[in-house]
């Protein structure tokens, strides 16, 4: 079980959190300005790297805040927890 550094509550067990997938995928300002392919990419396509990437977590059994972390997908090492909205 991973130990996730909640920026508000400190390190906590993974089962206190909900997973939010890739971080920094902004909801488009005007979805209707996107063609079908671009909208489909926003909806369904995410990165799946081997190595470092940024992902979102929601401390559902704690402070109920969303935040982003950098996690290594092979080692599950977590480096930065970013308290700002993502």
Partner 1 sequence: MIFHFDGEPIAARPGDTVASALLRVGKRAVATSPYLDRPRGVTGIGEEESGAFVQIVSGVGEPMRPSTRVEVVAGLVVRGLGGRGGLPVAPDPSRYDRAYLHCEVLVVGGGAAGVQAATDAVERGEGRIVLVHDGPLAMAVPDAIQVLQRTTVTGLFDAGHAVALERRTEHLLAQPSPDVARMRVWHIRSARTVLATGAFERPLAFADNDRPGVLLAGAAATYATRHGVAWGRAVVVCTDDTGLAAALALHDAGTAVAVVADVRTGLVGDAVRALAERGIDVRQGWSAVGTDAAADGGVAAVELTPVTPQGVVLGPGERVPCDLVAVNGGWSPNVALFTYVGGPVTWDATRVAFVADRARPHLRSDVTVVGSAAGDGPMPANPPATFFGAVANGPDIASRVFIDPGRDATLADLHRALGAGLRSVEHVKRYTTIGTGADQGRTSGVLAIGLMAATLGVSPGEVGTTTFRPPYVPLPFAALAGRDRGRLSDPERVTAMHDWHVEHGAVFEVVGQWQRPHYFASTQDESMADAVLRECAAVRTGVGMMDASTLGKIDVRGPDAATFLDRLYTNVMSKLQPGRARYGVMCGADGMVLDDGVVLRLAGDHFLVTTTTGGAARVLEWMEEWLQTEWPDLRVWPTSVTDQIATVVVAGPGSRDVVAAVVSDLDVSKEALRYLAHAETAIAGAPGRVTRVSFSGELAFELMVPAWYGDHVWRAAWQAGQAHGVTAYGTEAMHVLRAEKGFVIVGQETDGTQTPDDLGLSWLVRKPVDRAGNPTPDFIGSRSFARADTRRPHRKQLVGLLPVDPQRQIPEGAQLVAVGADLSTTPVPMLGHVTSSYRSAELDRTFALALVAGGADRHGERLLASFGADDAEVVITSPVFLDPEGARRDG
Residues 26, 48, 50, 51: which binds partner 1 (CB under 8 A)? 26
What distance lies between CA 1 and its chain's CA centroid?
Answer: 17
CB-count burial class (<10 Å; 0-12, 13-18, 19+) for 51: exposed
Q: Is 25 helix (H, G, I), strand (E, B) or coil?
A: coil
Give the Cα separation of 57 and 76 in Å (integer).
14
61 is a contact residue toward partner 1 (CB under 8 A) = no
CA-wise closest residue to 12 among 67, 84, 74:
67
Choose between 35 and 48: whose C-beta lies nearer to partner 1. Answer: 35
66 binds partner 1 (CB under 8 A): yes
Residue 20 binds partner 1, judged by CB under 8 A: yes
Residue 53 within binding range of partner 1, rule CB under 8 A: no
Q: Which residues of this chain interact with partner 1, rule CB under 8 A?
A: 1-3, 14, 18, 20, 26-27, 30-32, 34, 36, 39-40, 42-44, 56, 58, 60, 64-66, 74-76, 78, 85-86
């Amino acid at each position: 079980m991973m130990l996730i550094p909640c920026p508000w509550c400190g390190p906590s067990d993974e089962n206190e959190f909900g997973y939010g997938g890739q971080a920094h995928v902004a909801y488009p300002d005007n979805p209707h300005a996107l063609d079908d392919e671009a909208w489909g990419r926003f909806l369904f396509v995410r990165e799946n790297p081997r190595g470092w990437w940024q992902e979102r977590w929601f401390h559902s059994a704690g402070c109920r805040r969303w935040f982003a972390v950098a996690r290594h997908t092979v080692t599950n090492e977590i480096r930065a927890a970013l308290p700002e909205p993502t």
